[in-house]
Amino acid sequence: MRIIIAKDYEELSARAAMIVAGQVCLKPNSVLGLATGSTPLLMYEKLVEMHRTVGLDFSEAISFNLDEYLGLPPEDEHSYHWYMHRNFFRHININPENIHIPDGMAKDVERECGEYDRAIHAAGGIDLQVLGIGTNGHIGFNEPDIKFEATTHKVKLDQETVTANSRFFADPAEVPRYAISMGIKTIMHAKRILLLANGETKAGAIYKTLYRGITPETPASILQLHQDVTVIVEESAAKYIQKNIA
């Protein structure tokens, strides 16, 4: 595991964007696993900037998003479809046919999940998976006590996650309680993983992820077993790990 402490959010985002850009430059038809949330926002902005200024080319790239709320249509501004299009896809030259996000309106959720995993497999697997982390150590929407062997599936969101994500909704009662998420097994099959953590609220989760036992109580701790993980931690999120890497 490679751990990079970034001095601030700007540096975290610049480094993350360089890693994603490097992946796409070296392998233009890369399969990218993408994340939402506030953490990767500036990384997306920087990738858009690289697309505009130095022609970073996404025309052959394929994307699979980690998760989507159940019950929100793509045009709902709280959906992850909307987030991805507004913050990234509409500003770059990715082929819309190569974009994959779980369908939050799927009638047959189990089937949607199975098809999502099959599509990842058919694309050759994920080359680089970008991850944020929840305050409770979740990745994607894999909440504490998740089964590590899970593939893409329906999840019930923890109260802690509902509360954390309610900042994006006018009325906390509107926060969906269920989502579709890639499972830990799907995530662990990615060839490379880039985990990003920004802000002091993530410090505890990052410490447990990197330095405590591997346990379903901290879903991200399973990443200790992955062979190619880069973790970029902004200074305040790294406050409990400084000693360990000194």
Q: So which residues are the catalytic ones?
A: 67, 136, 138, 143
Residue 35 makes contact with ligand GLP by CB under 6 A:
yes
| AA identity, residue 8 | D
Q: How far is the CB of 26 from ligand GLP (least distance, A)?
A: 25
Q: DSSP H helical segments within the chain, as ranges?
A: 9-26, 41-54, 80-87, 109-122, 159-165, 184-188, 203-211, 242-245
Alpha carbon separation from 192 to 54, 56, 115, 148, 160 (Å, rounded): 24, 20, 22, 18, 28
Residue 140 makes contact with ligand GLP by CB under 6 A:
yes
**88 vs 141 by CB, closer to ligand GLP:** 141
Task: Pick the stretch among 49-57, 90-98, 106-114, 128-136 that binds ligand GLP (CB under 6 A).
Answer: 128-136
Query: Residue from 38, 59, 93, 163 that binds ligand GLP (CB under 6 A)?
Result: 38
Q: Of residues 163-182, which lie at the interface with ligand GLP (CB under 6 A)?
A: 165
Query: Residue from 13, 23, 39, 218 that binds ligand GLP (CB under 6 A)?
Result: 39
Q: Say how many C-beta atoms besides its own lie within 10 A of residue 42's C-beta.
A: 18
Residue 136 makes contact with ligand GLP by CB under 6 A:
no
Q: How far is the CB of 140 from ligand GLP (least distance, A)?
A: 5
Contact residues for 83 (Cβ-Cβ < 8 A; gap 6+): 36
Eight-class DSSP state of 202: G
Q: How far is the CB of 204 from ligand GLP (least distance, A)?
A: 13
Q: Judge contact between 82 and 76, C-beta under 8 A.
A: yes
Q: How far is the CB of 87 from ligand GLP (least distance, A)?
A: 12
DSSP structure string for 152-169: SEEEEPPHHHHHHHGGGS
Place of tokens 């038809």: 29
The number of residues that bind ligand GLP (CB under 6 A) is 14
Q: Of residues 49-78, which lie at the interface with ligand GLP (CB under 6 A)?
A: 66-67
Q: How far is the CB of 54 from ligand GLP (least distance, A)?
A: 27
- Six-digit token pair at 74? 């793509």
Residue 161 makes contact with ligand GLP by CB under 6 A:
yes
Give the interface with ligand GLP as residue ranges (CB under 6 A).
35-39, 66-67, 132-134, 140-141, 161, 165
